[in-house]
Amino acid sequence: MRFLTWLKPTWSQLHLWNYFGSIKQMIDLAKANPDSEFFLFLANMHGFTQIHNQEEMKNNSMMAIKLYLACGADTKQFVIYNPADIPGHAQLNWILTCITHMWFMERMHSYKDALNKWKAKEIWVWVFCYPILMAADILLYDADLVPVWKDQKQHVEYARDIAQKFNNTFGETFVLPEAKINPELWLIIWTDGRSKMSKSYNNYIGLLDDEATILKKIKQIPTGSQTVEESKNPDECNVYNLCKLFLTETEDKELRAKYLAWWLSYKYAKEYLFEKMMDFLRPIQEKYNKISDQEVKDLLAKNAKYVNEISEKKIKDIYDKVGFNL
């Protein structure tokens, strides 16, 4: 079985939400499916919709790959590659564009959202074509399962429908991919008490933040106004909700008991959170700092060879079927 997942280089730093909402989920999924391959591609062609700056694109890409590795992605199971090394993505993109109708794309949620915000002529062309490129990313490798969040489900269904259309016209060519919906993590309360961690709210904790920055952000977390003597409901406390991400079951029970008893101060809870968070982040940061740019480049070069073999074979089959190869 082949899973397909991605890294989008649109962030200068990945944060805790990226870890718990995405990286960890993928690593756990890989562990639960030891016989499956995980194709993990750098979605730079997609990131280019937002990032028009060479340095930023390169730095974000390097950082994202290194962080995935530092978080424990096993390179034997995760095939990390850069579509810049694989011409098949762009080649297939065009083929699929030519078999797709406007009416079909006009049903897209993200396009409709854009139409609600802007006049049609103000919308970037990529908004409209984006799911076709995504379909190419998926179909090129006959991926069986694509783990996504709900917001991307329709895009994977587009890939499936477009694949079906090609198969109907030119004969069985593509595996029909299925979306596997990731559990959402909206329940986590971030450092400002909002339900979502975001760079624009500046309420996130970066996986590479240093101790001083993290301490400052933890100090800013709003808490209740109960005194030390009063019992507190852990589930209503932002500090607890963040803390439990890092606790074992026993530690969690102990902390809950302290909240419910009469003597826990919010200051103590924050110190405990800091300690637990750093215990989690330190090894990731140490590992991250040891990975050189060259190591990443070597890994991408090695995987490009493997992935290109699959891609070239697929493109040859497609080009044969449509009559490009004489």
Taking CB under 6 A as the binding criterion, the range among 2-10, 12-20, 31-39, 284-292 that sits at the site for ligand TRP is: 2-10
User: Shortest distance, CB of residue 319 to ligand TRP, whole angstroms?
Assistant: 22
Under rule CB under 6 A, which residues in 37-96 are in contact with ligand TRP? Answer: 43, 46
Nearer to ligand TRP, 153 or 256 (CB): 153
Q: Does residue number 148 form part of the binding site for ligand TRP (CB under 6 A)?
A: yes
- Alpha-carbon distance of 41 to 82, in angstroms, equals 6
Q: Does residue number 14 form part of the binding site for ligand TRP (CB under 6 A)?
A: no
- Nearest by Cα to 20 from 212, 194, 189: 189
Among 3, 6, 38, 158, binds ligand TRP (CB under 6 A): 6
For 315, how many CA atoms within 13 A lie in the half-sphere containing its CB? Answer: 18
Nearer to ligand TRP, 36 or 223 (CB): 36
Among 137, 203, 205, 207, binds ligand TRP (CB under 6 A): 137
Q: Does residue number 134 form part of the binding site for ligand TRP (CB under 6 A)?
A: yes
Report yes or no: 180 and 145 within 8 Å, Cβ to Cβ.
yes
Q: Does residue number 209 form part of the binding site for ligand TRP (CB under 6 A)?
A: no
User: Shortest distance, CB of residue 148 to ligand TRP, whole angstroms?
Assistant: 6
Determine the Cα angle at 246 with ends 26 and 280, to 5°. 80
Q: Which residue has the tokens 């080009």?
A: 319
Q: Which helix (H) or strand (E) holds 7?
A: strand 2-7
Among 108, 138, 139, 264, binds ligand TRP (CB under 6 A): 138
Under rule CB under 6 A, which residues in 229-268 are in contact with ligand TRP? Answer: none
With CB under 6 A as the rule, give the number of residues binding ligand TRP: 11
Q: Does residue number 146 form part of the binding site for ligand TRP (CB under 6 A)?
A: yes
Nearer to ligand TRP, 143 or 300 (CB): 143
Report yes or no: 204 and 11 within 8 Å, Cβ to Cβ.
no
- Alpha-carbon distance of 296 to 69, in angstroms, equals 9
Nearer to ligand TRP, 26 or 134 (CB): 134
- Alpha-carbon distance of 214 to 221, in angstroms, equals 11
Tokens coding 40: 């993990």
| DSSP per position, 71-107 | TT--TTTEEEE-GGG-THHHHHHHHHHTT--HHHHTT
Q: At 134, which amino acid appears?
A: M
User: Shortest distance, CB of residue 189 to ligand TRP, whole angstroms?
Assistant: 24
Q: Does residue number 218 form part of the binding site for ligand TRP (CB under 6 A)?
A: no
Q: In what order do the strands lie in the sheet with 2-7?
A: 78-81, 37-42, 2-7, 145-148, 178-181
- Alpha-carbon distance of 210 to 256, in angstroms, equals 28
Among 3, 4, 18, 206, binds ligand TRP (CB under 6 A): 4
Q: Does residue number 145 form part of the binding site for ligand TRP (CB under 6 A)?
A: no
Taking CB under 6 A as the binding criterion, the range among 51-59, 98-106, 146-154, 294-302 that sits at the site for ligand TRP is: 146-154
- Residues lying near ligand TRP in the complex (CB under 6 A) are found at 4, 6, 8, 43, 46, 134, 137-138, 146, 148, 152
